[in-house]
């Protein structure tokens, strides 16, 4: 039996289940099961979903059935690398454009790359695949690709990149490691990027000093937020600011895995403080600021998936102040990799542990 046929038979088998939250009961139902290391999910206007699997497969899910979409980029599926994030362009209804991030082969190693393509009218293949950005210089480790892509309100694209396991490189602006980069939709550098024209600084860099930001999303004002893996303790939520230094590896609220102190401790002049941090670490991945109408009591709240403790963290956001107010947990929240808002205001999340996409709804 072919994998495509097997996937087409992977219809959500588990019944919908009630889940109690601080704001009353919600329903958790499976959308598709039988996935292999799913990494990201993106809803399409027609009600179908696109899902990436780390080994390189791009899937389109319709009525609980997943079919492989041809034409995805060739990826280096090693360590934490592979086919990673996916974002549907805001003007998809007219452009059919989607954005993908992936680990691209670079010499003996790989680096985080951003690609764009158009989804065919029948949803079976990508057309016109092209790289918009490839991080420099890449690396031979399989760690810390970051790799969320977010479309800003002005149409520019933000991409998160980890330090690739090379801690000092996050402070070296001659490299893309440990940064959030910003490019135009055609891959060119926006003229208002903070370091354009500065010698020895890569012009795509928007902010730097990040360890491994695996979650990113916009709030209602268009502000970019990230969730980032710390070392031992010190996982962070950060409100991203133009040109800012977020301190890694010079400051952190965590410690090295050996127990040794990190850099200068928790603060240093000229470096940003996190809006929130977790100790112990939760291994955050996937961030969404809810803006829908299905759950009005959650509007403006931030949701972050935990890979380590298998729950969804709900955080209250008041300006630049963020605090965790609830941990949403069930048998389905096993290693939550991604969390997004669907077009109807329901919430989709990926459980790597279950190999499934689930929906939270009324």
3-state SS of 251-306?
CCCCECCCCCECCCCCCCCCCCCCCEEECCCCCEEEEEECCCCCCHHHCCCEEEEE
C-alpha 100: how far from chain center = 11
Q: Which helix (H) or strand (E) holds 127?
A: strand 126-134
Residue 233, class by beta-carbon neighbours within 10 Å (0-12 exposed, 13-18 middle, 19+ buried)? middle
Q: Can you tell me the distance from the alpha carbon of 324 to that of 317, in angstroms, rounded to the nearest whole number? A: 9
pLDDT of the chain, 362 residues: tens digit per residue: 345 444 443 444 456 899 999 999 999 999 999 999 999 999 999 999 999 999 999 999 999 999 999 999 999 999 999 999 999 999 999 999 999 999 999 999 999 999 999 999 999 999 999 999 999 988 889 999 999 999 999 999 999 999 999 999 999 999 999 999 999 999 999 999 999 999 999 999 999 999 999 999 999 999 999 999 999 999 999 999 999 999 999 999 999 999 999 999 999 999 999 999 999 999 999 999 999 999 999 999 999 999 999 999 999 999 888 999 999 999 999 999 999 999 999 999 999 999 999 999 99
Residue 335, both tokens: 């290693």
Catalytic residue list contains 276 = no
Q: What is the rounded radius of gyration, in angstroms, for the C-alpha atoms of the chain?
A: 19
Which residues are 134's β-sheet partners?
113
Residues contacting residue 63 through CB under 8 Å, at least 6 positions apart: none
- Sheet with 284-289: list strands edge to edge: 284-289, 302-306, 312-318, 321-328
Three-class secondary structure of residue 103 per DSSP = strand
C-alpha 326: how far from chain center = 21
Q: What pLDDT does residue 181 have?
A: 98
Q: Can you tell me the distance from the alpha carbon of 225 to that of 238, in angstroms, rounded to the nearest whole number? A: 6
In the block, which residue shows the tokens 């009630």?
18
pLDDT in tens, 122-155: 999 999 999 999 999 888 899 999 999 999 999 9
Q: What pLDDT does residue 13 have?
A: 43
pLDDT in tens, 188-232: 999 999 999 999 999 999 999 999 999 999 999 999 999 999 999
Q: What pLDDT does residue 116 have?
A: 98
Residue 322, both tokens: 């963020």
Question: Among 84, 59, 223, 252, which residue's Cα sits nearest to residue 160?
Answer: 84
Are the C-beta atoms of residues 131 and 187 closer than 8 Å to each other? yes
Q: Can you tell me the distance from the alpha carbon of 306 to that of 245, in angstroms, rounded to the nearest whole number? A: 25
Three-class secondary structure of residue 218 per DSSP = strand
Strands 336-341, 347-351: parallel, antiparallel or unpaired by DSSP?
Answer: antiparallel
Q: What pLDDT does residue 14 have?
A: 55
144, 176, 229, 276: the active-site residue: 144
């Amino acid at each position: 039996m072919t994998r495509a046929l097997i996937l087409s038979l992977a219809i959500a088998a588990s019944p919908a289940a009630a889940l109690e939250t601080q704001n009353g009961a919600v329903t958790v139902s499976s959308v598709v099961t039988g996935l292999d290391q799913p990494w990201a999910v993106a809803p399409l206007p027609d009600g179908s979903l696109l899902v990436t699997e780390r080994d390189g497969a791009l899937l389109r899910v319709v009525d609980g059935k997943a079919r492989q979409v041809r034409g995805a980029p060739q990826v280096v599926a090693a360590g934490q690398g592979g086919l990673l994030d996916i974002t549907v362009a805001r003007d998809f209804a007219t452009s059919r454009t989607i954005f993908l991030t992936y680990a691209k082969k670079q010499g003996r190693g790989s680096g985080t790359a951003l690609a764009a393509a158009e989804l065919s009218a029948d949803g079976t293949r990508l057309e016109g695949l092209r790289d918009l950005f490839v991080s420099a210089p890449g690396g031979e480790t399989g760690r810390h690709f970051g790799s969320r892509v977010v479309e800003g309100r002005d149409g520019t694209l933000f991409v998160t990149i980890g330090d690739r396991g090379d801690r000092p490189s996050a402070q070296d602006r001659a490299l893309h490691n440990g940064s959030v980069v910003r490019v135009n939709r055609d891959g060119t550098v926006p003229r208002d990027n903070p370091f354009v024209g500065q010698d020895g600084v890569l012009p795509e860099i928007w902010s730097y000093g990040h360890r491994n930001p695996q979650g990113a999303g916009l709030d209602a004002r268009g502000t970019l937020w990230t969730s980032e893996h710390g070392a031992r303790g010190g996982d962070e939520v950060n409100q991203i600011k133009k040109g800012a230094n977020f301190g890694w590896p010079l400051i952190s609220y965590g410690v090295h895995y050996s127990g040794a102190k990190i850099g200068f401790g928790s603060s240093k002049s000229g470096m940003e403080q996190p809006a929130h941090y977790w100790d112990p670490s939760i291994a955050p991945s996937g961030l969404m600021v809810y803006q829908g109408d299905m759950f009005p009591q959650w509007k403006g709240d931030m949701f972050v998936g935990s890979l380590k403790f298998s729950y969804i963290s709900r955080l209250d956001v008041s300006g630049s102040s963020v605090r965790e107010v609830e941990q949403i947990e069930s048998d389905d929240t096993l290693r939550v990799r991604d969390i997004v808002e669907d077009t109807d205001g329901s919430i989709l999340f990926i459980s790597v542990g279950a190999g499934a996409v689930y929906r939270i709804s009324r």
